[in-house]
Amino acid sequence: MPGPIEKLRNIGIVAHIDAGKTTTTERILYYAGATHRMGNVDDGNTETDFDPEEAKRGITIYSAAVTCRWKECTINLIDTPGHVDFTAEVQRSLRVLDGAVVVFSAVEGVEAQSETVWRQADEYKVPRLCFINKMDRIGANFENVLDQIRKRLGGNPLPLFLPIGSEHDFLGIVDLIGRKALYFDSETQGKNITEEEIPDDLKDQAEEYRQKLVETIAERDESAMETYFEEGDLPDETIHKLLREATLAGDIQPTFTGSALDFVGVQPILDGVNRYLPSPLDVPPVHGINPKPKKNQSAEITRGPSNDEPLAALIFKIVADKHADLCFVRVYSGVLKSGSRLLNPRTGKKEFCSQIWHIQADQREKIEIDLVEAGDICGVIGPKDIVTGDTLCPTTDPILLESIHFPETVISMAVEPDTSADKKKLEDALVRLGRQDPTFKAQISEDTGQTIISGMGELHLEVLKERMHRDFNLNVRVHKPRVSYRETVKHPAEAHEEFNRSNQGESHFASVTVSVEPFEGESPIHVTSRIPVGSIPAEAEKIAREAVFESAQSGGVLGYPLMKVRFVILSVGYREGETNEEALRSAAAHAVQSALSKAEIALLEPIMKLEVVTPSDFVGNIQADLNQRHAKIFGSEIRGHLTALQAEVPLANMFGYSSHVRSLSQGRASFSMEPMKYDLAPQSVLNEMLG
Ligand SMILES: Nc1nc2c(ncn2[C@@H]2O[C@H](COP(=O)(O)OP(=O)(O)OP(=O)(O)O)[C@@H](O)[C@H]2O)c(=O)[nH]1
Closest CA to 333 of 396, 286, 277: 286
Nearest CA to ligand 1 atom 14: 20
Nearest CA to ligand 1 atom 7: 20
ipTM: 0.96
State the virtual CA torsion across 397, 402, 404, 408 in degrees, nearest 10.
130
**Element (DSSP H or E) covering residue 288:** strand 286-289
Distances (CA, A) of 443 to 379, 427, 454, 645: 29, 10, 9, 36
Nearest CA to ligand 1 atom 11: 18
Burial class (CB in 10 A: 0-12, 13-18, 19+), 308: exposed
If you average pLDDT over residues 447-457, what whole number do you get? 82
Instruction: Grade residue 56 by pLDDT with cuts at 50, 70 and 90.
Output: very low
The CATH number given to 604-690 is: 3.30.70.240
- Say which DSSP state 34 is in: S
Answer with the residue of higher pLDDT: 642 or 636. 636
Gap between the Cα atoms of 392 and 395, Å rounded: 9
pLDDT at 142 (0 to 100): 97
Which of 153-162, 325-334, 358-367 is the most confident on average? 153-162
Q: What is the pLDDT of residues 413-442, one digit of tens each?
A: 999 888 888 888 888 888 888 877 778 888
Mutating to test ligand 1, I would choose from 17, 18, 89 the residue with most ligand atoms within 8 A of its C-beta, which is: 18
CA angle 123/129/131 to nearest 5° reads 120
Closest ligand 1 atom, CA of 260? 31
Q: Are 642 and 592 in contact (CB under 8 A)?
A: no
pLDDT at 593 (0 to 100): 95
Nearest CA to ligand 1 atom 16: 22
Q: What is the mean pLDDT of the chain?
A: 86
Q: What is the pLDDT of residues 471-517, one digit of tens each?
A: 788 888 888 888 889 999 999 999 999 999 988 888 899 999 999 99
| CA 21 to ligand 1 center in whole angstroms | 7
Gap between the Cα atoms of 332 and 304, Å rounded: 7
Q: What is the pLDDT of residues 508-517, one digit of tens each?
A: 999 999 999 9
Closest ligand 1 atom, CA of 41? 16
Which stretches of 504-615 are assigned E, i.e. beta strand?
Answer: 506-518, 525-529, 565-573, 601-615
Angle between helices 222-231 and 200-218 (to 10 degrees): 140
Closest ligand 1 atom, CA of 83? 25
Closest ligand 1 atom, CA of 23? 15
pLDDT at 480 (0 to 100): 87
* Residue 521 pLDDT > 90: no
pLDDT at 183 (0 to 100): 97
Nearest CA to ligand 1 atom 24: 59
| CA 19 to ligand 1 center in whole angstroms | 5
| CA 40 to ligand 1 center in whole angstroms | 9
CA 190 to chain centre: 32
CA 622 to chain centre: 30
* Residue 687 pLDDT > 70: yes
| CA 47 to ligand 1 center in whole angstroms | 14
Nearest CA to ligand 1 atom 27: 42
Instruction: Grade residue 613 by pLDDT with cuts at 50, 70 and 90.
Output: confident
Gap between the Cα atoms of 49 and 30, Å rounded: 14
* Residue 624 pLDDT > 90: yes
* Residue type for position 404: I
Q: What is the pLDDT of residues 551-568, one digit of tens each?
A: 998 888 888 889 999 999
- 491-599: CATH, from 3.40.50.1360, 3.30.230.10, 3.30.470.10, 3.50.50.60: 3.30.230.10
Which of 257-271, 282-296, 310-324, 457-471 is the most confident on average? 257-271
Closest ligand 1 atom, CA of 79? 20
Nearest CA to ligand 1 atom 9: 20
| CA 388 to ligand 1 center in whole angstroms | 29
| CA 80 to ligand 1 center in whole angstroms | 14
If you average pLDDT over residues 460-465, what whole number do you get? 84
Closest ligand 1 atom, CA of 49? 23
Q: State the fold for domain 411-484.
A: Alpha-Beta Plaits (3.30.70)
Nearest CA to ligand 1 atom 17: 20
CA 337 to chain centre: 28
Q: What percent of the chain clears pLDDT 70, i.e. is strictly above it?
A: 89
- Determine the 3-state secondary structure of 62 from DSSP: coil
φ, ψ dihedrals at 300, nearest 5°: -75, 135
Q: Are 318 and 440 in contact (CB under 8 A)?
A: no
**Element (DSSP H or E) covering residue 336:** strand 336-337
pLDDT at 90 (0 to 100): 67
- Determine the 3-state secondary structure of 60 from DSSP: coil
CA 279 to chain centre: 21
* Residue 604 pLDDT > 90: yes
Pocket of ligand 1 (CB under 6 A): 15, 17-23, 41-42, 59-60, 81-82, 133-134, 136-137, 259-261
End-to-end CA distance of the chain: 65
Which stretches of 362-460 are assigned E, i.e. beta strand?
Answer: 367-369, 371-372, 377-381, 391-392, 400-401, 411-417, 441-444, 451-455
* Residue type for position 124: Y
Q: What is the pLDDT of residues 291-323, one digit of tens each?
A: 877 766 677 889 999 999 999 999 988 876 556
Mutating to test ligand 1, I would choose from 105, 107, 261, 266 the residue with most ligand atoms within 8 A of its C-beta, which is: 261
Gap between the Cα atoms of 469 and 476, Å rounded: 8
If you average pLDDT over residues 33-39, what whole number do you get? 48
Q: What is the pLDDT of residues 77-106, one digit of tens each?
A: 876 665 545 556 666 677 888 999 999 999
pLDDT at 60 (0 to 100): 38
- Say which DSSP state 493 is in: E
Closest ligand 1 atom, CA of 15? 19
Return contacts of 68-72, CB within 8 angstroms, 24+ apart. 68/28, 68/29, 68/32, 68/33, 68/34, 69/32, 69/33, 69/34, 70/28, 70/31, 70/32, 70/270, 70/271, 70/273, 70/274, 71/270, 71/271, 71/274, 72/3, 72/7, 72/274
Q: State the fold for domain 5-282.
A: Rossmann fold (3.40.50)
| CA 259 to ligand 1 center in whole angstroms | 10
Same fold, 411-484 and 604-690: yes
| CA 102 to ligand 1 center in whole angstroms | 14
State the virtual CA torsion across 234, 236, 240, 241 in degrees, nearest 10.
-60
Burial class (CB in 10 A: 0-12, 13-18, 19+), 404: buried
| CA 133 to ligand 1 center in whole angstroms | 9
Q: Are 417 and 478 in contact (CB under 8 A)?
A: no
- Determine the 3-state secondary structure of 212 from DSSP: helix
pLDDT at 61 (0 to 100): 35
Answer with the residue of higher pLDDT: 289 or 106. 106
Gap between the Cα atoms of 161 and 172, Å rounded: 10
| CA 43 to ligand 1 center in whole angstroms | 12
| CA 258 to ligand 1 center in whole angstroms | 13
Nearest CA to ligand 1 atom 32: 134
* Residue 65 pLDDT > 90: no
Gap between the Cα atoms of 637 and 579, Å rounded: 65
Closest ligand 1 atom, CA of 258? 31
pLDDT at 446 (0 to 100): 67
Gap between the Cα atoms of 41 and 305, Å rounded: 36
- 286-401: CATH, from 2.40.30.10, 3.40.50.10540, 3.40.50.720, 1.10.10.410: 2.40.30.10
Give pTM, 2 decimals.
Answer: 0.73
| CA 86 to ligand 1 center in whole angstroms | 18
| CA 688 to ligand 1 center in whole angstroms | 46
Q: What is the pLDDT of residues 174-205, one digit of tens each?
A: 999 999 999 999 888 898 999 999 999 999 99
* Residue 41 pLDDT > 70: no
Rg (C-alpha) for the chain, rounded Å, is: 28
Closest ligand 1 atom, CA of 58? 24
| CA 537 to ligand 1 center in whole angstroms | 63
- Say which DSSP state 559 is in: S
In the chain, domain spans: 5-282, 286-401, 411-484, 491-599, 604-690
pLDDT at 68 (0 to 100): 82
Which of 132-146, 292-306, 534-548 is the most confident on average? 132-146
| CA 134 to ligand 1 center in whole angstroms | 8
If you average pLDDT over residues 278-303, what whole number do you get? 85
Instruction: Grade residue 218 by pLDDT with cuts at 50, 70 and 90.
Output: very high
The tally of CA atoms less than 13 A away on the side-chain side of residue 178 is 14
- Determine the 3-state secondary structure of 484 from DSSP: coil
Answer with the residue of higher pLDDT: 40 or 160. 160
Of 365-379, 605-619, 676-690, the poorest mean pLDDT is in 365-379
- 682's CB contacts (< 8 A; 6+ apart) are none
Mutating to test ligand 1, I would choose from 30, 41, 105 the residue with most ligand atoms within 8 A of its C-beta, which is: 41
Gap between the Cα atoms of 430 and 415, Å rounded: 11
pLDDT at 499 (0 to 100): 93
Answer with the residue of higher pLDDT: 691 or 636. 636
- 236's CB contacts (< 8 A; 6+ apart) are 177, 178
**Element (DSSP H or E) covering residue 153:** helix 142-153
| CA 57 to ligand 1 center in whole angstroms | 13
